[in-house]
Structure formats: structure tokens, C-alpha cells
Amino acid sequence: MSKKGIETIALLLLVGILILAIAMWLMSAFGTSPELSSRTLAAVNCHTVRSYLLKYYREVGNDTPADRVSDFVTYVTDAEKKLIFSREPPIEPYTSRRDIGFYLLLPDKLESVRPVPIGYTTPITTKAGQIYRGILFMRGQQITTVILQEKVWKNIIGNEDFEKKKPDLYIWRERLNYLKDQSQKRK
């Protein structure tokens, strides 16, 4: 091989190493996802509940039971379904800031002419100290999720005492780890 061919290969290797070093630096600097805000996490959880509500109403059709809230909670807490739902609040140390409670106001049918609230979350406090709630609204046959300031939500729903009522269900993201640990302790 000629001297020029060796220099070309060495240059290509050097450029390749330089590109690899830059890529590794970028991955280490930006590879971890930025921490999501509390409001964003609440919106993600609301969308999760929304997707299960849509599936639930599709499956039950016109045969909705008298106690729809209890039936839906049983539907999502079934072991064959998603294991992130729980009737009981998260237990330390298996909690995360992604966990949230839901209060449900489910209608007979997934149908309404005007927007109707069908669920809301426990309070979400931002780093700035503002309090929000994730709200599920139904209009027509659609469910929309929004994040509203606590005072705006209270103006919509009235003076219900939010804090004395236990949520109907919880999204508990670390629940699977808790269940695994509990089953290992029983052995």
C-alpha cells in the first residue's frame, strides 16, 4: 500500500474516532431525558385513564352497571389488566412523583352535547407552588384531558370538599415492584 493510501485510512480513522467521541459526549450530555414537570406528568396520567375509559365504554356498550365507578375501578385493577392501577394509595418507598389519584364522575353513556367533567385528579403542586388538577371532560363521544388551576376547577364544580373524599383509584407507577417484593417476602 502506498504512503498516500495509509494516510487516507489514518485520516478516515481519526475522523471516525472524532465523530464517535462527539456522539458519546452528546449522548452523555443530552441522553437522559429532562425531568418532566408535574403538570406534564399529570397530563400523561390523565391520558392513560382516558384511554382505559374509552376502552371500557366500548366494551360495556349500553350495558353499563348502576355503579359505573366501582365497575370501572374493578375493570382497571383486574390483575389481567394494567398493574399500575390500584384502589389503595402508593406505599413508601414504592412511590414516585408520577403517582396520582383520580376521582371519577362517570356517566351512563359516553355521550354528551356539552362538555361534562367525568373525572379529576388529586392536586398537583408545581415548583412555583401553584396548585393544578388534571380534568377529564366528555363532549359528544370524546374525552378530553386538560390541566386547570385549582381555583378555576373549584369555580366549575362548586364548593365540594376535595380533600375529605378518598380518590376512586390511583395510578401507582412502582406498584409492580411492590407486588414483586411482597410475593418474594411470602416465599
The pLDDT tens digits along the chain (187 residues) read 677 767 777 666 666 676 756 665 555 554 444 455 777 778 888 888 888 888 888 888 767 777 888 888 888 887 665 678 888 888 888 787 788 899 998 888 888 888 888 888 888 887 788 888 888 898 888 888 888 888 888 888 776 665 568 899 888 888 777 777 777 777 6
Residue 54 sits in the same domain as residue 24: no
Indicate the helix (H) or strand (E) that contains 120: strand 112-121
Residue 88 sits in the same domain as residue 175: yes
Residue 31, pLDDT score: 46
Residue 8 CB neighbour total at 10 angstroms: 12
E strands present in 21-95: 85-86
Residue 27 sits in the same domain as residue 46: no
Tally of domains within the chain: 2
Residue 50 sits in the same domain as residue 10: no
Residue 10 sits in the same domain as residue 42: no
Residue 5 sits in the same domain as residue 45: no
Half-sphere exposure of 25 (CA within 13 A, CB side): 6
Residue 16 CB neighbour total at 10 angstroms: 10
Residue 128 sits in the same domain as residue 161: yes
Residue 16 sits in the same domain as residue 55: no
CA 156 vs CA 14, 105, 124: distances in Å: 64, 14, 17
The model's pTM: 0.72
Contact 118, 147 (CB under 8 A): no
Q: Which domain holds residue 13?
A: 1-32
Residue 17 sits in the same domain as residue 44: no
Residue 24 sits in the same domain as residue 76: no
The letter for the amino acid at 24 is: M
Nearest to 141 by CA among 46, 54, 52, 47: 54
Residue 21, pLDDT score: 61
Alpha carbon distance 126, 95 (integer Å):
18
